[in-house]
């Protein structure tokens, strides 16, 4: 199964045997590949909590064919824990998790640590474990782009400080208790909400 967020809506690529595990709208892979614009149109009209499901013989192959004309980018980031609080950032007016594009042959783990340090102004952080991988699409300079992001649980034992990387649209670095997670979820992107829910719930 592959899950991709397109314009903040989830598109699923699932096998026929996985169909019973999902509720919502379903279309066959042949139709989806023949008319990708229609898939995007349908996705806009479907509630975010339902999503659109493409039924595939081979979800990985159909996923690759569907996005064959997209530029591919890999990124990494993480949810940082310090004692009983968690690090979130305000980016372009929405709550977000620090992350960024991998450089050269950089590993996801190294990229996640570097991006968190750069975007939040903290050092001496360490990865505890992987959380998940997400996919979402966007346009960059008019080019359709598919971003694959590796997410990690990260530990931090330093002082409770943080300096937002303003040039990346980050205006705030904030440590939140678990009781405030619903406030974060009320003002974030669907793909980020997916990571947060997977980690906390």
Q: pLDDT value at position 49?
A: 79
Q: How confident is the model at residue 96 (pLDDT cuts 50, 70, 90)?
A: very high
Question: Per residue in 8-59, pLDDT tens?
Answer: 999 999 999 999 989 889 999 999 999 999 999 999 888 887 889 999 999 9
Contacts of 81 (CB under 8 A, 6+ apart): 87, 128, 153, 154, 155, 156
Q: In the prediction, which pLDDT does 119 show?
A: 97
Residue 93 DSSP SS3? coil
Long-range interactions of 120-124: CB distance < 8 A, separation 24+: 120/80, 120/87, 120/89, 120/162, 120/163, 120/164, 120/165, 120/173, 121/161, 121/162, 121/163, 121/164, 121/165, 121/173, 122/80, 122/87, 122/156, 122/158, 122/161, 122/162, 123/158, 124/156, 124/157, 124/158
Structural domain boundaries of the chain? 2-66, 74-200
CB 150 within 8 A of CB 76: yes
Determine the average pLDDT of the residues in 57-67: 98
Confidence of residue 68 (pLDDT cuts 50, 70, 90): very high
Residues 116 and 150: beta-carbon distance below 8 Å: no
User: In this predicted structure, what is the pLDDT of residue 50?
Assistant: 81
pLDDT confidence band for 62 (50 / 70 / 90)? very high
* pLDDT of 160: 87
Interval 106-162: pLDDT, tens: 999 999 999 999 999 999 999 999 999 999 999 988 999 999 999 999 999 998 888
CATH topology of domain 74-200: Nucleoside Triphosphate Pyrophosphohydrolase (3.90.79)
83-101 average pLDDT score: 96
Task: Report the 3 state secondary structure along 5-63.
Answer: EECCEEEEEEEHHHHHHCCCEEEEHHHHHHCHHHHHHHHHHCCCCCCEEEEECCHHHHH
Note the pLDDT tens digit of each residue in 153-190. 999 999 888 899 999 999 999 999 999 999 999 999 99
CB 121, CB 161: distance < 8 Å: yes
Residue 88 DSSP SS3: strand
* Contact indicator for 26, 46 with CB cutoff of 8 Å: no
pLDDT at 46: 87
Tell me the C-alpha distance between 195 and 149, whole Å.
10
């Amino acid at each position: 199964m592959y899950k991709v967020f397109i314009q903040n809506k989830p598109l699923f690529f699932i096998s026929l045997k996985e169909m019973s595990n999902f509720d919502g709208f379903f279309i066959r892979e042949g139709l989806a590949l023949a008319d990708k614009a229609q898939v995007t149109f349908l996705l806009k009209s479907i509630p975010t909590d339902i999503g659109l499901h493409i039924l595939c013989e081979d979800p990985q192959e159909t996923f690759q064919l569907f996005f064959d004309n997209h530029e591919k980018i890999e990124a990494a980031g993480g949810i940082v824990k310090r004692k009983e609080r968690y690090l979130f950032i305000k980016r372009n007016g929405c709550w977000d998790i620090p992350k960024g594009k991998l450089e050269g042959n950089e590993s996801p783990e190294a990229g996640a640590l570097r991006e968190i340090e750069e975007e939040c102004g903290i050092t001496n952080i360490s990865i505890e474990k992987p959380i998940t991988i997400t996919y979402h699409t966007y346009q960059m300079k008019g080019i359709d782009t598919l971003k694959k992001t590796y997410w990690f649980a990260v530990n931090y034992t330093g002082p409770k400080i943080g300096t937002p990387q303003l040039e990346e649209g980050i205006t705030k670095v904030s440590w939140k208790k678990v009781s405030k997670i619903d406030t974060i979820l009320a003002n974030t992107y669907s793909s980020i909400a997916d990571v947060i829910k997977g980690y906390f719930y």
